[in-house]
Amino acid sequence: MAALSFELLARDAGSRARAGRVTTAHGAFETPAFMPVGTHATVKTLSPRDLREAGARILLANAFHLSLRPGEDLIRRMGGLHRFMSWDGPILTDSGGFQVFSLAQLTRIGDEGVRFQSPLDGSPCFFSPERVVEIEEALGPDIAMPLDQPVAYPCDRDKARAALERSQLWAERSRRAHRREDQALFGIVQGSVYADLRREAAERLRALDFPGYAIGGLCLGEGRALFLDTLAAAMDGGLPADRPRYLMGAGMPVDVVRSIALGVDMFDCVLPTRNGRNGWAFTTAGPVKLRNAKYREDAAPLDAACDCYACANFSRAYIHHLFRAEEILGLRLASLHNIRYYQRLVAGARDAIREGTYGEYERGVCEAWEGAAGDGKGQET
């Protein structure tokens, strides 16, 4: 049996939006899907039970961070990542390539891999495509991302081309190194904001026949218009319709619904939890900035349309008080609500695609969030 299968359940008539189901060694999840980010094998402030009750069915963790602490061998000896963090559903690990390039002191990068100093203690580390596959096979997620070389935005064409070539080489080596039959290794489309490079990357990766494809290196400050154009180019580049497509690190609600319209199936983003910890609630009527004095005596829940534990039990006034008093329960309730918001966002998209009303659904989300701050940067560092 394949490590991963993808079933297409419905297509939208007016866009490339689609609804489906991905089945992994630890169960299935419906797409479009949103994956809460659990960098250190925990989604910040939340328990696995919270996440399941909020509707999450697949979580993301980070191979780079976990290999540094507590170490992939320890997690393997403790029964693997699922058992370690007590999440029995699907897990995807990011390779952490993005974090290597953004956090670590780089000492050398070459075709063989990346030498860098550990951001924890400065000790020398080496990541190659083969080493990352080894880490992810030890951790045991259902879906693993290979090492690639992301580029910052802006990035000139020559540099983008060189990073693409190296990422392509690494994708091939990762594919060869990967052994674990209960784990699916995805390919990652890079190419900065150059539509032709994105198309080329997609085509070349397709030839390697990955069970799923990710689009990386977007939502890095390029702005929504360029983001959507580049994403469309990557998707048009011939990513096969029968494989799930995962847009890495996006985004604001508008980015999510627009990307779904371009055919994206999977998302991850730190915004619901990071913004939650900053007192920023996502609601069906737009953002609620909880520290604002206007919520001091507001008896309404965060979002009257929401069914989460926070909205069922507490007022904005109470959560405002918790943030003012610097109480951790405030971080928890805002994070929990935001995760639920994103789960309802993609569940609403799934329903609308099945019912043939996706265009209307997309417009509704865009109207509620028009002009809301946030550039969609959603990668954990």
Closer residue to a copy of itself, CB minimum distance, 119 or 359 = 119
Contact between 308 and 323 (Cβ < 8 Å)? no
- Catalytic residue (one of 12, 50, 94, 142): 94
For 137, 138, 171, 174, the CA distances from 186, given in Å and listed in that order, are 13, 17, 9, 10
Contact pick of 315, 357, 374, 377 for a copy of itself (by CB under 8 A):
315
- When asked if residue 99 is in the footprint of a copy of itself (CB under 8 A), the reply is no
**3-state DSSP percent of the chain in helix, strand and coil, to 5:** 40, 20, 40
For 256, 272, 312, 333, 354, the CA distances from 156, given in Å and listed in that order, are 27, 32, 50, 43, 41
Closer residue to a copy of itself, CB minimum distance, 289 or 324 = 324
Contact pick of 322, 339, 346, 349 for a copy of itself (by CB under 8 A):
322
Contact pick of 7, 14, 27, 77 for a copy of itself (by CB under 8 A):
77
- When asked if residue 325 is in the footprint of a copy of itself (CB under 8 A), the reply is yes
DSSP code for 71: -
Closer residue to a copy of itself, CB minimum distance, 153 or 318 = 318
- When asked if residue 44 is in the footprint of a copy of itself (CB under 8 A), the reply is yes
- When asked if residue 159 is in the footprint of a copy of itself (CB under 8 A), the reply is no
Known catalytic residue at 50: no
Stretches 44-52, 170-178, 192-200, 339-347: which one binds a copy of itself (CB under 8 A)? 44-52
Closer residue to a copy of itself, CB minimum distance, 207 or 300 = 300
Q: Kindly report the CA angle at 18 between 13 and 21, in degrees rounded to 5?
A: 145
Question: Measured between alpha carbons, how far is 26 from 312 in angstroms, rounded to an integer?
Answer: 30
- Catalytic residue (one of 12, 148, 265, 268): 268
Phi and psi at residue 163, in whole multiples of 5°? -65, -35
- When asked if residue 2 is in the footprint of a copy of itself (CB under 8 A), the reply is no
- When asked if residue 76 is in the footprint of a copy of itself (CB under 8 A), the reply is no
- When asked if residue 327 is in the footprint of a copy of itself (CB under 8 A), the reply is yes
Closer residue to a copy of itself, CB minimum distance, 129 or 276 = 276
Phi and psi at residue 69, in whole multiples of 5°? -155, 120
Backbone CA torsion sign across 141, 148, 175, 30: positive
Question: Measured between alpha carbons, how far is 51 from 55 in angstroms, rounded to an integer?
Answer: 6
Residues 110-149 binding a copy of itself (CB under 8 A) are none
Contact between 173 and 139 (Cβ < 8 Å)? no
Known catalytic residue at 298: no
- When asked if residue 225 is in the footprint of a copy of itself (CB under 8 A), the reply is no
Backbone CA torsion sign across 361, 364, 369, 370: positive
Contact pick of 7, 14, 27, 74 for a copy of itself (by CB under 8 A):
74
Contact pick of 11, 21, 40, 159 for a copy of itself (by CB under 8 A):
40
- When asked if residue 331 is in the footprint of a copy of itself (CB under 8 A), the reply is yes
Q: Are strands 18-24 and 27-31 parallel, antiparallel or unpaired?
A: antiparallel
Euclidean distance between the first and final Cα of the chain, in Å?
A: 35
Contact pick of 2, 7, 9, 78 for a copy of itself (by CB under 8 A):
78
- When asked if residue 264 is in the footprint of a copy of itself (CB under 8 A), the reply is no
Q: Which region, left, alpha or beta, applies to residue 238 given φ > 0 means left and ψ of -120 to 50 means alpha?
A: left
Contact pick of 33, 35, 41, 346 for a copy of itself (by CB under 8 A):
41
Q: Are strands 286-289 and 280-283 parallel, antiparallel or unpaired?
A: antiparallel
Stretches 23-31, 135-143, 202-210, 321-329: which one binds a copy of itself (CB under 8 A)? 321-329
Contact pick of 19, 46, 254, 308 for a copy of itself (by CB under 8 A):
46
- When asked if residue 317 is in the footprint of a copy of itself (CB under 8 A), the reply is yes
Look at the block and give the residue holding tokens 């990652």: 188
Look at the block and give the residue holding tokens 């904001």: 193
CB of 342 to a copy of itself, least distance (A): 19
Binding region for a copy of itself (CB under 8 A): 40-42, 44-49, 69-70, 74, 77-79, 84-86, 296-297, 299, 309, 313-315, 317-318, 320-322, 324-325, 327-329, 331-333
Residues taking part in catalysis = 94, 268
